[in-house]
Amino acid sequence: MISDQELLVATGQGDRAAFAQLMERHTPFALALGMRMLGNSDDAEEVAQEAFLRVWRKAPDWDGDGGAQFTTWLYRVVINLCTDRRRRRPMLPMDDVEEPADPAPGGLDQVARTQAQKVVSEGLAQLPERQRAAISLCHLGEVSNAEAAQVLGVSVSALESLLVRGRRGLRDYLSRLGFAASGDLL
């Protein structure tokens, strides 16, 4: 398998196929991270597109000897874009309209999953930005604590502190809504 570093070098030389491989490999996580940070799939898609536009522009100048992994840089760009997007427009109230149930078999499970994701997204939206970013990176299970700490520019112990405070805040939010345990929602 070709490494991200090799794909990035090829992208910097104008190789569109290498760029497509980078996008295919990392878009799902960039979208999921954007969705967790913003709570809106349209905004998450725009952030992911902007992040990969920056990858395309940065690729010719990428300094792989600087020690930074491509994923660390990409996730940091996504988080920064999400933060910028949240700052530039006012928070809008969540739409209270429920999604219609899927008539296909298993529709109830999908509705329950959608509602659980909505509750968790609302809880995440209540957290401070850095706690939300830490939980979004680590909760999705694709980023180690060490890499998440590097993305956020903090020590591993500071990241763990952010995670503890963020989980506590999320747990408190869920308990105020009447959920005794958050394990079924997360």
pLDDT digits (tens, 9 = 90+) for 57-78: 988 887 765 667 888 889 999 9
Contact 8, 64 (CB under 8 A): yes
The dihedral region occupied by 94, where left means phi > 0, alpha psi between -120 and 50, and beta the remainder, is beta
- Asked whether residue 58 is assigned to any structural domain, the reply reads yes
HEC string for the chain: CCCHHHHHHHHHCCCHHHHHHHHHHHHHHHHHHHHHHHCCHHHHHHHHHHHHHHHHHHHHHCCHHHCCCHHHHHHHHHHHHHHHHHHHCCCCCCCCCCCCCCCCCCHHHHHHHHHHHHHHHHHHHHCCHHHHHHHHHHHCCCCCHHHHHHHHCCCHHHHHHHHHHHHHHHHHHHHHCCCCCCCCCC
Nearest to 170 by CA among 137, 135, 119, 124: 124
Task: For residues 125 and 41, state if they share a domain.
Answer: no
The total number of structural domains in the chain stands at 2
Task: For residues 73 and 154, state if they share a domain.
Answer: no
CATH classification at residue 143: 1.10.10.10
Least reliable range by pLDDT among 89-93, 141-145, 166-170: 89-93
Nearest to 159 by CA among 183, 136, 186: 136
| Segment 29-34 mean pLDDT | 92
HEC string for 14-66: CCHHHHHHHHHHHHHHHHHHHHHHHCCHHHHHHHHHHHHHHHHHHHHHCCHHH
pLDDT of 172 over the 90 cut = no
pLDDT in tens, 131-163: 988 988 887 667 888 888 998 899 999 999 999
Note down the domain range covering 173: 107-186
Quote the pLDDT of residue 113. 75
- Asked whether residue 126 is assigned to any structural domain, the reply reads yes
- Asked whether residue 128 is assigned to any structural domain, the reply reads yes
CATH classification at residue 3: 1.10.1740.10
- Asked whether residue 37 is assigned to any structural domain, the reply reads yes
- Asked whether residue 97 is assigned to any structural domain, the reply reads no
- Asked whether residue 177 is assigned to any structural domain, the reply reads yes
Quote the pLDDT of residue 138. 85
Considering 41, 62, 89, which residue would you say is the last residue of a domain?
89
pLDDT of 174 over the 70 cut = yes
